[in-house]
Amino acid sequence: MEMEEVQLTSNSLHRLCMQESPDYLRELIRKTRSLTDKPFGIGVVLAFPHEENIKAILEEKVAVLQLYWGECSQELVMEAHNAGVKVIPQVSKYDEKIVHFSLLGALRMQERPLFAIIVQGREAGGHVIGQDGLISLVRRAVDLVGNRDIPIIAAGGIVDARGYVAGLALGAKGVCLGTRFEPISI
């Protein structure tokens, strides 16, 4: 938890990873709350068993639920919204036929109360499913979102200030860094 403690004191939104056990997840949520009064989120891979963990996240009223690799249903978004939890789907494709984790699929949720959309390019490490590069995806996402009040967050291969500035130049309102904060010994 030491790395999380460092991140929790920074000016960022920290995300915990979903755990296999809802009881352990509740323990992590409560431990995190004991370390900070700042909001934090939890990333959930929908392709894995997740129902009990999402129930725990909503009951604990975590600030943000980040969803990827699966169907982000209207019911789930509304259930989270009613619990006071903000939903951020992560998309990595533009393809109209792939509704689960595509940009067009997320935008079909425009009537749903989405907090933001994370757009992840193939440059990312970890949970990568798309083949489109970040530059083309962010540009398309910003154009498609248009005047809707849904911020686009760029993710994938952003490791320094240049990547951050590039994301903003493409129209993203922020960036999501995954493995950038790997702790090292000096």
CATH at 166: 3.20.20.70
Quick one: pLDDT at residue 14? Answer: 52
Quick one: pLDDT at residue 58? Answer: 93
By C-alpha distance, which of 182, 94, 173, 159 is closest to 132?
A: 94
Domain membership flag for residue 185 = no
Domain membership flag for residue 147 = yes
CB 114 within 8 A of CB 77: yes
What share of the chain in percent tops pLDDT 90? 15
Q: pTM score, two decimals?
A: 0.77
Residues 6 or more apart whose CB falls under 8 angstroms from that of 131 comprise: 93, 122
Instruction: Domain of residue 13: give its range.
Output: 2-179
Q: What is the pLDDT of residues 34-46, one digit of tens each?
A: 888 888 888 888 7
CB 50 within 8 A of CB 88: no
Q: Is 139 helix (H, G, I), strand (E, B) or coil?
A: helix
The tokens describing 162, both together, are 């240049």
Domain membership flag for residue 186 = no
Task: Domain count for the chain, please give it.
Answer: 1
CB 137 within 8 A of CB 166: no
Residues of the chain with pLDDT under 70: 1-19, 49, 94-113, 126-129, 178-186
HSE-CB for 132 with a 13 A CA cutoff: 20
Q: Give the integer Cα–Cα distance in Å for 168 and 176.
A: 12
Quick one: pLDDT at residue 3? Answer: 43
Q: Give the integer Cα–Cα distance in Å for 164 and 146.
A: 21
Quick one: pLDDT at residue 185? Answer: 58
Domain membership flag for residue 184 = no
